[in-house]
Copies of this chain bind each other. A is one copy, B any other.
Amino acid sequence: MTGLSNTAMPTFMRFFSDNDAPVHPAVLAAIEAANASDAAYDGDALSQALDARFSALFERDVAVIWMPSGTAANALALSLLCPPYGGIVAHEEAHIVLDECGAVELQTGGARLLTCAGEGARLSVDSLRERVARQGTGVHHTRPYAVSITNVTEYGLVYRPDEVSAIGDFCRETGLALHMDGARFANAVAALGCTAADLSWRAGVDVLSFGCTKNGAMNAEAVILFDPARAYEAKRRRKRAGHLLSKGRFIAAQLHAMLEDDLWLANARASNAVAAPLGRAAGTRLLHPVQANEVFLRLSPGEAAALRAQGFGFHDIGEGVARLVTSWHQREADVAPFAAALAAL
């Protein structure tokens, strides 16, 4: 998606993506508070405290690998689950497939993404079973080693814990590992009202990309390893890929701030909340139910142009489909004008 500069565009007009939103004041404050010198890389007090902090959130021992980007987090996570000669089953419209320029191939050393279809970028056990069965497992073939699902999906849909569990069970039966791209994990948890544990390891997820950048952080993601023994390799791969920032405390500080008083959930609830009225305004134009903070709707070129003429910014994703994304910082008043404009079409 092209990103022309929109400095001048006020908040109520921007629906391009949550990935360009402001940083939450509490996160900025945490960054400033971390400014005193401390040990480099991840030797600082804040980084050292992350395992315990996330272990509390996830109600079990986890190892946390902070990362500066979601693409880096997904590639690292998958490199722990699949050898270079293996395959990773993912939806054909998954972010790792369409929007990461081969990051998985680089970090895994050439593993292949084995894609399958599914409404709303969701994978079902049936589609996975069919895809895995179709893939040969002989020495000539790219044998599947892992499955990667995105929750919230690329079309704003949410997998419930029982749906993830069904996929997790399938993975166990077939000897596959399960990764969840949780760039919007917070929005999914907020939408479902479940716990972070219910939607991840309790449902069979082995490694989770826990996103914060889209949810109020500046540049902080966390790879959550439900098997802490993976941390050794993960830390080598993070360094080797150039992601072990020397002033890591500034990444760790963001993660702590996001967890403090459940800011991650509050922000996700806020962005989800303002997507709903846009969805209602879209009415029959909606392609998918609005379950989190994304709205996909049909817009003719003329209608899209008319909305842009009124100053609204959003992405076309082709074939007369527009994507609107709300962010943690938008309030009802920020989306009302666009909702009205949609209803008026």
A contacts, CB < 8 Å to B: 1-7, 9, 11, 14, 16-17, 19-23, 28, 31-32, 35-45, 48, 67-73, 75-76, 83-85, 98-103, 105-107, 109-113, 136, 138-143, 213-214, 218-219, 233, 235-247, 250, 327
Are A35 and B7 in touch, CB under 8 angstroms?
no
**Beta-carbon contact of A140 and B99 below 8 Å:** yes
Contact between chains at A45 and B243 (CB < 8 Å): no
Is there an interface contact between A5 and B44, defined as CB atoms closer than 8 Å? yes
Judge whether A98 and B141 touch: CB under 8 Å. Answer: yes
A236 to B101, CA, bound (A): 7
Can you identify 13 A-B contacts, CB atoms within 8 angstroms?
Answer: A2-B138, A5-B45, A19-B40, A28-B32, A31-B31, A68-B243, A69-B246, A71-B242, A72-B242, A105-B110, A105-B112, A107-B242, A139-B238
**Measured CA separation A23–B139 after assembly (Å):** 25
- How far apart are A43's CB and chain B's nearest CB, in angstroms? 3
User: Are B72 and A5 in contact, CB atoms less than 8 angstroms apart?
Assistant: no
Selected from B9, B19, B38, B244, the residue in CB contact (under 8 A) with A139 is B244
Copy total for this chain: 4
A242 & B35 in contact (Cβ 8 Å cutoff): no
User: Which residues from B are CB-within-8-Å of A250?
Assistant: 23, 218-219
Residues in chain B near residue A37, CB distance under 8 A: 6, 9, 11, 14, 20-22, 327
Q: Are A5 and B39 interface neighbours, CB within 8 A?
A: yes
Max chain B Cβ within 10 angstroms of own Cβ: one of A23, A76, A101: A101
Task: Report the separation of the CA atoms of residues A101 and B112 in the bound assembly, to the nearest whole angstrom.
Answer: 9
Inter-chain CA distance A155–B342, complex, in Å, is 51
A68/B3 in contact, CB under 8 A = no
CA gap between A111 and B240 in the complex, in Å: 11
A23 vs chain B, min Cβ distance (A): 6
Known A241-B242, A243-B72; contact A7-B19, beta-carbon cutoff 8 A = no
Establish whether residues B100 and A3, one from each chain, have CB atoms under 8 Å apart when the complex forms. no
Please give, as numbers and ranges, the residues of chain B lying within 8 Å of A68 by CB-CB distance: 68, 219, 242-243, 245
Given A20-B39, A84-B109, 8 additional A-B pairs, CB 8 A: A1-B138, A2-B43, A5-B45, A11-B37, A17-B40, A68-B243, A99-B140, A101-B141
Q: Is the CB of A243 within 8 A of B246?
A: no
Tell me the minimal C-beta distance from A320 to chain B in angstroms. 15
Q: CB < 8 Å: which of B22, B139, B327 contacts A35?
A: B22
CB <8 Å contact, B113 and A112: yes
Measured between alpha carbons, how far is A36 from B38 in the docked complex, in Å? Answer: 29
The one of B20, B48, B105 in contact with A246, judged by C-beta atoms closer than 8 angstroms, is: B20
Residues from chain B with Cβ under 8 Å of A45 in the complex: 5, 7
Given A48-B5, A214-B246: A100 in contact with B69 (beta carbons within 8 A): no
